[in-house]
Structure 1
């Protein structure tokens, strides 16, 4: 068995000019360092150092073992940190747009749960405009959603293109108003779509509204009209539309926004969200 104590002594000695210096760095007696190396060489049945009175060098086997020793020691340190660090407790109120909930957010929440099993998550899913209202009213600790026009708050996560979608086989009418399926107002995506159509001089008619992307998706799959969704969640049964002279849509910017005085569990979740590839 590769005793982590022997491996730590070995890695320190490999970086030192002598066992005496390694002993000083480890705050051990020099005979103890020698004994750890002897035990390790016996365990692997290989000579790890070439040493004389003036120099200390790794053998080929020693260099090979050093790579594995560093991996083992890193894993050992990570495990100790995981099980000796104070466990976070408390509650985090997280608001998210439903397009993120339909994407990779569940993977982030699963990671957070593994790391902090004693933190309670209170999850609110809704349109970004509603999440901003909850944040401003102090009803959320964190939110992730689209950046609202003119609002510079929040940590940018990524940008995602919007795409026109409809049921496979549907054609875009050119001589009648576009039959639109949109999120219910107020909605960042809805505002962007209608502003784009207005600039392009394209007429439209709203045939269905929903409070969620899932509802828009269901209506589009039923063939009620054309909808707009972030490219990452455009689902099966819907096809991107490029014909019919549809104007190009802008990309949306997704952000994470935290409330003032965020708790330690809230900061831990915020850090994980920022580090995770949500798109």
Structure 2
């Protein structure tokens, strides 16, 4: 029979991508996580994790185990919740900015859903400005989105720089009019980019507009122009513009904004999970 403690360490390692971060997530020593993985591999007679000096990745057998491990821990959580009087119930309407969804939302939701199986999540993905408008209309209970420097809305999670990205940065920067790929208004990254170009008196035009980050990324990978994103959320296949070619962009801040009147227990539970998970990911590539 598989050990649930070992499976929990296995899932934490897959989520965090390193033994150090998995240990921090579970509040265990790094050697303990390593022992759990080794014992799990011995019990199954298969190698589950490929290790090198740069990263930790699952083997094919590890990938095959992943879904079953999640299911077993989900059942364990459901049984625990069934006999716990303080379990959370209800519906929480969560609004998340497009770029955060593409990079980090899975890791946040996985542990929350496992710990609170009786909570129903209604997820809305949109631009930060749109999410705030929907929240003002009472349609969203908790917003996880960006704000500009100097704004006081919400509770700060972290701050990071915006960068210029393109398939071939030098070729794009050499054009007489900078081709800009951007979200439609109201978009914080769009506003920051345009204001920076106007201050530098650089000519520009928007060559592609899309409300989906995957659409913008496809346009940038096709060489249509330049895209602005938080550095840690830079899509694969794009390169950062070398310093000095374009104006430096201001940082953005990611925040949590609860709606007045939302269930404070549900908001607090998900907020705590977001702070724990996102905080542990800062500085990790």
- The separation in 2 between residues aligned to 1:148 and 1:136, in whole angstroms, is 18
Match of 1:124 in 2: 124
Q: CA offset at residue 156 of structure 1?
A: 0.2
CA contact (8 A) 2:127 2:211 kept: yes
CA contact (8 A) 2:148 2:252 kept: no
Match of 2:17 in 1: none
Match of 2:222 in 1: 222
Map residues 101-250 of structure 1 onto 2, 5 A cutoff.
101-148=101-148, 151-168=151-168, 171-174=171-174, 176-242=176-242, 245-250=245-250
Match of 2:98 in 1: 98
- The separation in 1 between residues aligned to 2:151 and 2:160, in whole angstroms, is 18
Q: CA offset at residue 168 of structure 1?
A: 4.1
**1:144-164 deviation digits (Å, cap 9, x = unpaired):** 111156641200000121111
**1:103-124 deviation digits (Å, cap 9, x = unpaired):** 2221111110011001111000
| Rg larger for | 1
For the residue of structure 2 that corresponds to 1:274, the secondary structure is: helix
TM-score, length of structure 2 as denominator length: 0.65
Match of 2:277 in 1: 276
For the residue of structure 2 that corresponds to 1:84, the secondary structure is: coil
Match of 2:88 in 1: 88
Q: CA offset at residue 170 of structure 1?
A: 5.6
Match of 1:32 in 2: none
- The separation in 1 between residues aligned to 2:234 and 2:252, in whole angstroms, is 14
CA contact (8 A) 1:168 1:237 kept: no
- The separation in 2 between residues aligned to 1:225 and 1:241, in whole angstroms, is 12
CA contact (8 A) 2:98 2:126 kept: yes
For the residue of structure 1 that corresponds to 2:262, the secondary structure is: coil
- The separation in 2 between residues aligned to 1:164 and 1:110, in whole angstroms, is 31
- The separation in 2 between residues aligned to 1:175 and 1:120, in whole angstroms, is 50
- The separation in 2 between residues aligned to 1:217 and 1:184, in whole angstroms, is 14
Alignment size in residue pairs: 200
- The separation in 2 between residues aligned to 1:150 and 1:138, in whole angstroms, is 25
- The separation in 2 between residues aligned to 1:148 and 1:163, in whole angstroms, is 15
CA contact (8 A) 1:127 1:212 kept: no
- The separation in 2 between residues aligned to 1:226 and 1:243, in whole angstroms, is 15
TM-score, length of structure 1 as denominator length: 0.67
Where structure 1 has 5 or more consecutive residues not aligned to the other structure, the ranges are 1-80
| Distance change (3 Å), C-alpha of 1:266 and 1:244 | closer
Match of 2:259 in 1: 259
Where structure 2 has 5 or more consecutive residues not aligned to the other structure, the ranges are 1-79
- The separation in 2 between residues aligned to 1:243 and 1:157, in whole angstroms, is 27
- The separation in 1 between residues aligned to 2:137 and 2:158, in whole angstroms, is 26
For the residue of structure 1 that corresponds to 2:171, the secondary structure is: coil
| Distance change (3 Å), C-alpha of 1:200 and 1:168 | closer
Pairwise CA RMSD: 2.1
